[in-house]
Chains A and B, each alone.
Chain A
Amino acid sequence: MSDAAPRPIDRRMFAGFLRQHRGAAVAVTGWSLLEAVPALASGLLVAAALDRGFLAGRPAEGFFWIGLLGAAMVFRALMTRTLTPWLGRLVEPLRDDLVTAVAAGAVHRAAAGARDTAGSGVARLTVQVETVRALVSALLRSARQLGVSLVMAFVGLAALSAPVAALTLPPVLLTLLLCVPRLRVLARRQRRQLRSEEALTAAAGEAFDGIRDVVACGARDRVAGDLSARITEHRDACRAVARTASANTLLVALGSHLPLLVLLLTAPRLLDRGALSVGELLGATSYLVSGVAPALRSLVAVLGSWGVQLATVLRRLSRSTPTTEHRTPGSSGQDLPARTPRSPDLSLVDVGYAYGLGAVPVIDGLSLDIPAGSHLTVVGPSGAGKSTLTTLLAGMARPDSGRLTLGGVPAADVDRAWLHRAVTLIPQEAYVFTGTVRDNLRYLHPEARDADLLASATAVGARALVDRLGGLDASVGLDGPPLSSGERQLVALTRAYASQASIVLLDEACCHLDPSAEERAERAFAERGTTLVVVAHRISSALRAPRVLVLDGDRTAVGTHGQLLRESPLYADLVGHWVSAGTS
Chain B
Amino acid sequence: MTSPQRLVWDATARTRGWFVLASATAVLGSAGTLAFPWAMARALDAVVARRPAAGPVLVCASLLALVVATGALQTLANGGYGSGTVATLRGSLARRALDAGVPGTADFPAGDLAGRLSAGCAQAGAAGVTLVTASAAVLTSLGGVVALWLLDWRIGLCFSLGVPPLVLIARMFMNRGSGLFLQYQETQGRISALLLEALGGARTIGASGTAAAETRRVLEPLPELSRTGHRVWALQRDAGWQVGLLIPAVEVLVLCAGGLALLNGDISAGQLAAVVGYTALAMAALDQLDALFALGMSAAGARRVAEVVDQSAPAPGTRPRPVAAQGTVTLSGVTVRSGSRLVLDAVDLTVPAGTALAVVGRSGAGKSTLAALIGRLREPETGTVAIDGVPLRELTPQALRGAVGYAFERPALLGTTVAGMIAFARPDASHEDVVAAALAARADDFITRLPRGYDTPLPDAPLSGGEVQRLGLARALVHDPAVIVLDDALSSLDTATEARVDSALAAAWSDRTRVLIAHRVSTAARADLVAWLEDGRIRAVGSHAELWQLDDYRALFAVDTGPGTAPDRDTRSGPGAEADPDARGTAEAEADHGTHPHANPHAQESV
Contact = CB atoms under 8 A, between A and B. Distances in A.
A85 to B, nearest CB: 6
Contacts of B375: 215-216
Interface in A195-236: 197, 200-201, 204-224, 227-228, 231-232, 234-236
Given A282-B269, A514-B363, A70 B252 contact: yes
B87 A231 contact: yes
Most buried by A among B75, B76, B113, B607: B75
B73 interface: yes
Contact of A216 (B208, B377, B499): B377
A345 B9 CA distance: 71
Main secondary structure of the interface of B (DSSP, over half): helix
A95 interface: yes
Interface in A443-499: 443-444, 461, 464-465, 467-468, 477-478, 481-488, 492
A572 B179 CA distance: 66
B260 to A, nearest CB: 6
Contacts of A67: 252
Contacts of B244: 73, 76-77, 80-81
Contacts of B523: 581
Given A96-B222, A208-B113, A235 B84 contact: yes
B1 interface: no
B496 interface: yes
A445 B68 CA distance: 69
A327 interface: no
A464 B110 contact: no
Interface in A29-74: 38, 46, 49-50, 53-55, 57, 59, 62-63, 66-67, 69-70, 72-74
Contacts of B110: 120, 205, 208-209, 211
A15 interface: no
A167 interface: no
B479 A217 contact: yes
Most buried by B among A4, A80, A228, A431: A431
19 contacts: A55-B269, A88-B230, A88-B234, A95-B225, A99-B191, A126-B191, A214-B412, A249-B68, A264-B44, A285-B276, A286-B276, A289-B280, A382-B467, A382-B494, A383-B464, A396-B203, A424-B208, A430-B204, A538-B560
A279 to B, nearest CB: 8
Interface stretch (A16-24, A101-109, A312-320, A404-412): A101-109
Given A4-B216, A264-B47, A278-B48, A427 B204 contact: yes
Given A46-B276, A49-B255, A242-B80, 17 more contacts: A54-B260, A84-B237, A85-B234, A85-B237, A108-B211, A216-B401, A235-B86, A250-B72, A254-B68, A264-B43, A268-B47, A289-B280, A478-B197, A515-B559, A516-B559, A519-B582, A540-B560
B83 A55 contact: no
A518 B47 CA distance: 97
Main secondary structure of the interface of A (DSSP, over half): helix
B190 interface: yes
A228 to B, nearest CB: 5
B146 interface: no
A246 interface: yes
B494 A511 contact: no
Interface in B176-216: 188, 190-216
Interface in A412-438: 416-417, 419-420, 423-435
A350 B441 CA distance: 34
Interface in A514-556: 514-520, 523, 538-540, 543-544
A461 B590 CA distance: 9
B144 interface: no
Contacts of A215: 98, 101-102, 375, 377
Contacts of B119: 127
B522 interface: yes
B173 interface: no
B288 interface: no
Contact of A582 (B37, B215, B522, B597): B522
A492 B204 contact: yes
Interface size class of B (residues with CB under 8 A): 35 or more
Contacts of B114: 120, 201, 204-205, 208
Interface in B462-476: 462, 464-467, 475
B555 interface: yes
Contacts of A122: 195-196, 199
B154 interface: no
A81 B564 contact: no
B64 A261 contact: yes
A111 B202 contact: yes
A566 interface: no
Contacts of A429: 200-201, 203
Most buried by A among B61, B115, B215, B606: B215
Contact of B497 (A130, A381, A443): A381
A83 B558 CA distance: 73
B101 A211 contact: yes
A209 B50 contact: no
A242 B562 CA distance: 71
Interface stretch (B88-96, B159-167, B323-331): B88-96
A115 B199 contact: no
Interface in B45-76: 47-48, 50, 53, 57, 60-61, 64, 67-68, 71-73, 75-76
Given A96-B226, A513-B363, A514-B556, A271 B199 contact: no
B149 interface: no
Contact of B259 (A59, A245, A394): A59
Nearest to A570: B496
Interface size class of A (residues with CB under 8 A): 35 or more
A197 B121 CA distance: 12
Contacts of A180: none
Interface in B374-412: 375, 377, 397-398, 400-402, 404-406, 408, 411-412
B437 to A, nearest CB: 13
Contacts of A375: none
B104 interface: yes
B57 A290 contact: no
B585 interface: yes
Given A577-B496, A584-B526, A281 B47 contact: yes
B68 to A, nearest CB: 4
Contact of B198 (A46, A217, A426, A433): A433
A267 interface: yes
B82 A92 contact: no
Closest 3 CB pairs of A and B: A242-B79, A210-B412, A218-B401
Contacts of A38: 248
Contact of B83 (A4, A235, A582): A235
A113 interface: yes
B539 to A, nearest CB: 15
B241 A224 contact: no
Contact of A73 (B98, B252, B585): B252
A84 B233 contact: yes
A63 B60 contact: no
Contacts of B145: none
Given A55-B269, A66-B252, A212 B118 contact: no
Contacts of B497: 381-382
A465 B598 contact: yes
Contacts of B606: 482-485, 488
B424 interface: yes
B256 interface: yes
B311 interface: no
A362 to B, nearest CB: 11
B245 interface: yes
Contact of A396 (B206, B252, B556, B586): B206
Contact of B273 (A85, A286, A477): A286
